[in-house]
Amino acid sequence: MPLVAGIAAVSIAVAITPTATSPFTTWHPSTSSAASATSAASARSVLSAVQGDYTVRRGDSTYTIARRAGTTVPAVVAANGLQGGGRRIHPGQRLVIPAAGTDAQAGRRQAPATTAPTRTAPPAKAPTSKAPVARATARTSPPAAAGPQKAQVRALIEQVADEHGVDRRLALAVGLQESGWRQDVTSHVGARGTMQVMPANARWASSLAGRRLDLGDVRDNVTAGVVILKQLQATAGSEDAAIGAYYQGLPSVKKRGMYRETHRYVASVKAHRSRM
């Protein structure tokens, strides 16, 4: 077992047994009778960052799993080496669940290799198969240089939406949901700016806009989000699917349907739009 193999000085038998009150499986280490007290303490310190493992069930997300376990999405993502901020998990997948309070770096040191499928950015030459890289719900807002005021960003979204033939109320609602109409926002998985566009999608957005877009520039960021939204409206099959695909990714929506978290995202965007 990868978690135990790294402890060269100790012979440990690890038994995995489910508990009656939790969906998580806990590790119960028992030291060999020949192991010294010092070695046992060392083994316990290595295992202390791990709460257990968990088999993903239908409808689960990293957010709901982390919340039930009393840990954080970044810690679960780091502990399992998940791509795309942990959005790509599937039923039957085994995840290591870090102990409550374990930071992301500690989780990464203890993690076995994940079996989750990886996601790569879609090539620029096939726009019909491209969708934004899925993003986790949690956003972080690190300090940044003073940017445009929210009123200015709102006016810019309206202008760019009109230029590209996109419902300005929908574009405003997506921008409000994603960043609160702020350009100085970057998510923990790297989505940037007002429209929270992943850097991996910058080339695709540039090809849709017909010019190179800089996600660090507020106008270019808004343009990227608007042209992606327009393309999704043209290819997703319905407005709800287009909104959901902006969050979850169109290939994932078409293959698996919208996750429960995505349904909540769609409902929130539509509620914002109704108030515009």
Using the predicted structure, report yes or no on whether residue 50 has a pLDDT greater than 60: no
Mind listing the pLDDT tens digit for each residue in 144-194? 444 678 999 999 999 999 999 999 999 999 999 999 999 999 998 899 999
Mind listing the pLDDT tens digit for each residue in 201-228? 999 999 999 999 999 999 999 999 999 9
CB atoms within 10 A of CB 20: 4
Residue 147 has a pLDDT of: 60
Total-model pTM? 0.51
Mind listing the pLDDT tens digit for each residue in 112-146? 333 334 444 444 433 333 344 444 333 443 344 44
Domains of the chain: 2-110 (no CATH), 127-274 (1.10.530.10)
Instruction: Report the alpha-carbon distance of residue 10 to residue 259 in Å, rounded.
Output: 43
Residue 225 has a pLDDT of: 97
SS3 113: coil
Instruction: Report the alpha-carbon distance of residue 256 to residue 248 in Å, rounded.
Output: 10
Span 37-65, mean pLDDT?
58
